[in-house]
Homo-oligomer: A and B are copies of this chain.
Amino acid sequence: MARKRLTREESRDQTRQRLLEAAAVVIAKKGLAATSVEDIAAHAGYTRGAFYSNFKSKTDLFIELLKHDHADIQQGLQEILDSKLSIGDMQKQLAKFYVQAYCGDNSYVLWAEARLHAMRDARFRTRLSALLLEKRDMCAYFIEKFCDLMGKTLPAPASDLAFGTMALIDGVRFFNDSMPNELPDQRAQQLLSAMFSATFFSS
């Protein structure tokens, strides 16, 4: 099996990583508040000792989780933008990316959880707000880029449109999860693209 003998630092990093992964799963499943430090540690195969030796608190770990997720998304989008594909192909890639990011895994649940938590914890709100701003600006950047490429003028400030876009996507997903099968994925996609193209290309 060639199980490599790990150095202290490698081992520590592995533990951190496993704790983060476990936290993502458990928090998405049970919710942030209902998830105990014990849950996270146990699901990762450790005890609470390992947790407190790696993170200051559950909130701290959670922020780190969100940062990782945000970085992953940003990287994914940047790669598409840098890919120098045609506009059509880029759009396809983008659509595919969003389907994966928003429907495939549970990261969107974590962000919903985070936004609710932010309402109750001022410190957390500050930190989350910064992340969301980055997200919005990233989204705005893409919107501008695309509209530029397509020779369209924007009907509103890009940052506002980015805000609306994120809100709509998240909102649809959020509603859809709580009333499953009412709006099949395909119709949801249609609805989203109808609203988007109406918004962006109506003028």
Contact = CB atoms under 8 A, between A and B. Distances in A.
A194 B156 contact: yes
Given A31-B116, A198-B202, A163 B177 contact: no
Contacts of A128: 178-179
A184 B37 CA distance: 37
Interface in A170-203: 170-172, 174-175, 177-180, 182-183, 187, 190-192, 194-195, 198-199, 202
Report whether over half of chain A's contact residues are helix, strand or loop; otherwise say mixed.
helix
A195 B164 contact: yes
Nearest to A117: B31
- Copies of this protein chain in the complex: 2
A118 B168 contact: no
Interface in A54-105: none
Given A113-B116, A120-B29, A194-B199, A171 B167 contact: yes
A31 B178 CA distance: 18
A114 interface: yes
Interface of A: 29-34, 109, 112-120, 125, 128-129, 132-133, 136, 155-156, 160-161, 163-164, 166-172, 174-175, 177-180, 182-183, 187, 190-192, 194-195, 198-199, 202
